[in-house]
Amino acid sequence: MARRATLTRMAELPPPTLRLRLDAEALASNWRALDAMSGRAAAGAAVKADAYGLGVGNVMPVLRDAGAKDFFVAHWSEVPEVATHIPASQLSVLHGPIHSDDADYARQAGVRPVINSIEQAALWLKSGGGPCDLMIDTGINRLGIAMRQIHDATLAGLEVVTLMSHLASADEDSPLNAEQLARFKAAAAAIPAQRLSLANSAGIALGSDYAFDVTRPGLALYGGVPRAEMAGTIRQVAWPQAAIIQRRKLQAGDSVGYNATFTASEPMAAGVISLGYADGYLRCWSGKGALQSGEALLPLLGKVSMDMVVVDLSQAPHLREGDWVDVPYDLPASSRTSGLSQYELLTGLGKRFRR
């Protein structure tokens, strides 16, 4: 057993059959564009969920060097990796201190907790207080101080760096946008803070009234287009590829995959591709999706499996085992085809992709 473990440690892994290229220049360009669209406000960056699935280690140096100075994660567990790239004081944790251990960790690490309730405010003050951010719920009914609580005496003891809220329908022309803006202005008049932040990616496109001092783009940094105003400006960042692991010759009458949802009507070349729902390429692509080789489309045949899809190689008969094919991942187009949100498409990309 010991000998096998030693050999495993010494053996070099063979080349991957999944890879994900990060277009660093597109990422930097997206941040610069969002910063410019933010007007006098400074654009920050949401880097939660491993930088929306693209890898904190890949993304943070690019955003930092492009000029971003405010970063946001959701969980305390995300702090250590992000904080290796920036001063801890530039990082906010959106879920806030639920337990005294959270508050102690925030103070020791030097990051700012985002206070989301009167109870969290009391906990933070009891632990010693200090700089924090404060979330106001202006209509999304997730985290945040309720509007009826903005005059609570507990909040007066907080040292609020960033007073923030989150738009619920910024990707739509909804009356709720203006309602949330008005509520946020009312909260800002009641609670002293060094700066104000309301706009997410879509909110930036709503105009200068929503920008305030700091914007918090996430999706659009990574190639998502939440509003039509951003089309043509935001560039694709994630470029997945998968390898052909077997080439097959189907005969007329041969069925493919689980439940035999595709049956060949004539002889055809097919490729088994190292890509499946365990990698974030979900079953909703079945019957709709196509991979690509150059200009040639390779339609999916049958259902997506956990680790494999099968594609029609009729338009690319030159492809052989070991060749790479592209997984089209223009986020707005992929969202329309798959029915998945652009957020799900990004954050669902699996760990088996070599980034």
Catalytic residues: 48, 258
Instruction: Say if CB 204 and CB 217 are below 8 A apart.
Output: yes
Rounded distance, CA 135 to CA 132, Å? 10
Torsion of CA 212, 139, 160, 65, to 10 degrees: -50
Pairing type for strands 131-137 and 159-164 reads: parallel
**Helix, strand, coil share (%) of the chain residues, nearest 5:** 35, 25, 40
In 3D space, the residue among 127, 149, 145 whose CA is nearest the CA of residue 136 turns out to be 145
Tokens of 30: 């997206």
Measured at the CA of 299, the angle between CA 293 and CA 301, to 5 degrees, comes to 130
Instruction: Say if CB 211 and CB 199 are below 8 A apart.
Output: yes
What phi, psi does 239 have (nearest 5°)? -130, 90
In 3D space, the residue among 210, 205, 211, 209 whose CA is nearest the CA of residue 227 turns out to be 205
Cβ neighbours around 320 below 10 Å, total: 10
119: CB partners within 8 A, 6+ apart: none
Dihedral (CA of 128, 130, 136, 141) sign = negative
In 3D space, the residue among 176, 178, 170 whose CA is nearest the CA of residue 201 turns out to be 170
Cβ neighbours around 157 below 10 Å, total: 11
Rounded distance, CA 292 to CA 333, Å? 14
Rounded distance, CA 337 to CA 68, Å? 33
Tokens of 18: 């999944």
